Amino acid sequence: MSREYLKKAMRKAGSDACETHRTVEEILARIEAGGDAVALEYARKFDGYEGNVLLTQDEIADACALVPERLKRDIRFAHDNIRRFAEAQKAALSDMSYEIQPGLVAGQKAIPVDAAGCYVPGGRYSHIASAVMTVTTAKVAGCRHISACSPPRVGVGVNPAVVYAAHLSGADRIMALGGVQGVAAMAFGLFGLPKANILVGPGNQFVAEAKRILYGRVGIDMIAGPTDSLIIADAQADAHIVATDLVSQAEHGYNSPVWLVTDDRALAEKVMALVPDLIDGLPDLNRENALAAWRDYGEVILCATREDMAACSDEYAPEHLTVQAGDLGWWQDRLTCYGSLFLGEETTVAYGDKATGTNHVLPTSGAASYTGGLSVHKFTKTVTWQRATREGSRDVAQATARISRMEGMEGHARAADVRLAKYFPDESFDLSASG
């Protein structure tokens, strides 16, 4: 595959993993041993927060009253889209049964997890959309109890719009608690909450590491790294829109990679010329993030053909993948590794991040090569069952006994033997491993 880097990343996305792991492991251990009191200690230390952790109904109502009506309408619009898409996903996951052979029926049943914990970032940016994305999807899945937590700010508490979004979406309890202590509270069942069976939602490297350490004791949506985005564009693409979309994703954080893959050198050069001015026009914090992300992690890759472009994209397996190129149907059929796909100039990652209905909690750091993003399915256990008549167990029992003996698992073999002896006492069977 022909590939020329017109801009190459200076750094690879990541953090001081060892130091982060040690810090998070210590915090989790202390909170698990000390419970509510230690969690509150960390809330005071990291957030400077002395207020109520579990928001009361009055506090929720007061927060909701602070949200402008137009913003409420926008949140309701996004919530409705996300809810309806999640309901369509749920409809695609159905219980089933199948008669494998006469007298032997097996099936599957979709059962929602009991308790979900949803983390909503509130540090650099207050992620209103994350509250809707996570809580709504858990609600549609049928989780009995949904906790949401978000970092409070001194003198303000949790962002009122986040409280409104979580409440609208169906959160049973909302906590003013962020970081590792928030994740721990949901996982360990602090402050009277049920222990979460699954933890979901984006967060910084400490939140991500807490989820990674806890994985196995609880389920998680995924092990997340910095958000990343890739745009495939050909000569037909609008360079200004391509550049704007790259910058819009670079503002996520200083280590958020953005990549452009194209087969048109003129487009690539125009986009690279436009990006610096677009970054310079952002507000201060956004500008600092986008500048560092583009400088250190941004890449522009020139390929010879559209097949080369598709292969390059699949190799990167981006979290967000945008195609601004001709023959969109070809790209949709050909591309295989992405968290969410945005086809054509008329849509953009920002739409998916906020309001179209698809979920914005997506696999990062190449994980899209083997998994998808948050969905109703993540909150659902697909379990299997089976039932047989005595006649239906005849052949299965014989095969089970012989396979088990070949494996050396005599106890398994005898579980089949006793059924054959009981159900068919007048028959003899060759159940030896080498018969």
As annotated, the active-site residues are 319-320
Residue 262 burial (10 A CB sphere; 0-12, 13-18, 19+): buried
Residue 290 · residue 247 · CB < 8 Å: yes
Q: How far apart are CA 32 and CA 184, in angstroms?
A: 8
Between strands 380-388 and 104-112, the pairing is antiparallel
Name residue 153's beta-bridge partners. Answer: 157
List strand residue ranges (DSSP E) for 88-223, in order: 96-101, 104-112, 115-119, 145-150, 173-176, 198-200, 219-220
Q: What percent helix, strand, coil does the chain show, rounded to 5?
A: 50, 20, 35
Instruction: List the one residue out of 204, 173, 212 whose CA is nearest residue 190.
Output: 173
Residue 294 · residue 247 · CB < 8 Å: yes
Q: How far apart are CA 109 and CA 100, in angstroms?
A: 16
Q: How far apart are CA 51 and CA 53, in angstroms?
A: 6
Burial 210-248 (b: 16+ CB within 10 A, else e): bbbbbeeebbbbbebbbbbbbbbbbeebebebbbbbbbb
